[in-house]
Structures are given as structure tokens and as C-alpha cells.
Structure 1
Amino acid sequence: MAKAKDKRREKISIATEIDRLEERRARCQDNLERAEFRSRKEKLSEEDRQELEDEIAIMNERVQKLDRELQTLRGENRKNMLLSVGLLAISALFYYVFLYSEEAS
């Protein structure tokens, strides 16, 4: 099943994947803030408080994991952008060399 998921992700652009992860991170962050607010404002039994703290810890781990994935994807996006700019510069250089060599002839 993981292979099918990876194949689907291969077809998605990096920018789309970044947007998707940012949305997931925002939802996790909202849930985390709600849980933290609830832990501060509500009077909870010791058992409920422990469950809420466990939930907060899990959400913190998810947010950190998403942050790492986003950092990796943004690095890939930067590499792709630099490659694109480099190819554009080389193409422009060849175009001008070809254009000026035609004028010189």
C-alpha cells in the first residue's frame, strides 16, 4: 500500500505537495491550540488531563514531522528553481550567441 501512495505522490508537483502539507499542519496546529486552551480553561479529572496531555504530545510530534517534511520539500523546490533558472540562463546564452553569430555572418 505504501508503494501505491508513493506512486500517487510522484505525479503530484512539489508545490502542490507543499500546499497540502501546509494545510495539514495548519489543521494540526489549530487542534493543538484548542487542546491547550481546553487544558488551561476546563477543570478536568486527573485521567482526562493525562489523556489530553498525551493528545497534545502526539499533535506536537505530528506538527514537528510535518515541519521536517515541509523543510525537505522546500529544499527540493529550491533545487528545482535553481535548475530552472540555470537552464533558462544557458538557453538565453545560446540564443544570443546564435543570434549574434547570424548577424556577424
Structure 2
Amino acid sequence: MTKSKDQRRENISVATEIDRLEERKTHCRDNLERAEFRSRKVKLSDKERQELEDEMAIMTERVHKLDKELQALRGENRKNMLLSVALLLLSVLFYYIFLHSDDDSTLLD
């Protein structure tokens, strides 16, 4: 199962994965806010309150994990962007070296 999940993620762009994780994080935060509101406004038994606090702890942990994943993906996205810019600059450099030098040699003839 993990292998196929990793293979699927390889086919998804980093930006798409960031968007997907942002949506999951927003969903978890919304659920956490609803649980916090419920804990303040609704009278709960001790057992219900403990279950709600456990659920809130799980959601908080999920949000922290998603934050870490997002941070790693954003770092990867930055690397990809820098690599793209470097390749673009290299292409421009080769263009000017080879094509511009050909133009200069034809002018000298």
C-alpha cells in the first residue's frame, strides 16, 4: 500500500501536493475550532469532555504533521524553482554565446 501511495505522489506535482495538504490542514483546523467551540459552549460529562480533548489532541497533532510536510514540500518547491531559473539562465547564456557570436562573425566577413 505504501509503495503505490508513494508512486502516486511521484506523479503529482509539488504545487498540487502543497494545495492538497493546505486543504487538509484547513479542514483539520475547522474541525479543531468546532471541537473547541463545543467544549466551551456545550455542557459535557467528564467522559465526553475527555473524548473531545483526546480528539482535539489528535487533530492538533495532525495539523503539526501537515505543517511539517508543507514546510518540506515548500523547500522542495524552492529548489525546483531555483533549478528552473538556473537552467533558463544557462540556456540564455548559451544562446548569446553561440548565436550572438555567429552574428558577429558574419558581420566581420
Distance, in Å, in 2 between the alignment partners of 1:101 and 1:73 is 41
Gap regions ≥5 residues in structure 1: none
Q: Which has the larger radius of gyration?
A: 2
Compute the TM-score of the two structures, normalised by the length of structure 1: 0.98
Show CA shifts across 1:48-72 (max 9, x none).
0000000000000000000000000
Compute the TM-score of the two structures, normalised by the length of structure 2: 0.94
Tell me the percent identity.
Answer: 74
Distance, in Å, in 1 between the alignment partners of 2:81 and 2:5 is 25
Kindly state the Cα deviation for residue 97 of structure 1 after the two structures are TM-superposed.
Answer: 1.2
Which 4+ residue blocks in structure 1 deviate beyond 2 angstroms? Answer: none
Gap regions ≥5 residues in structure 2: none
- Residue 78 of structure 1 aligns with which residue? 78
Root-mean-square deviation (Å): 0.6
Q: What letter corresponds to residue 40 of structure 1 in structure 2?
A: R
Kindly state the Cα deviation for residue 103 of structure 1 after the two structures are TM-superposed.
Answer: 1.5
Distance, in Å, in 2 between the alignment partners of 1:64 and 1:34 is 18
Kindly state the Cα deviation for residue 41 of structure 1 after the two structures are TM-superposed.
Answer: 0.6
What number of residue pairs does the alignment pair up? 105
Distance, in Å, in 2 between the alignment partners of 1:93 and 1:62 is 46
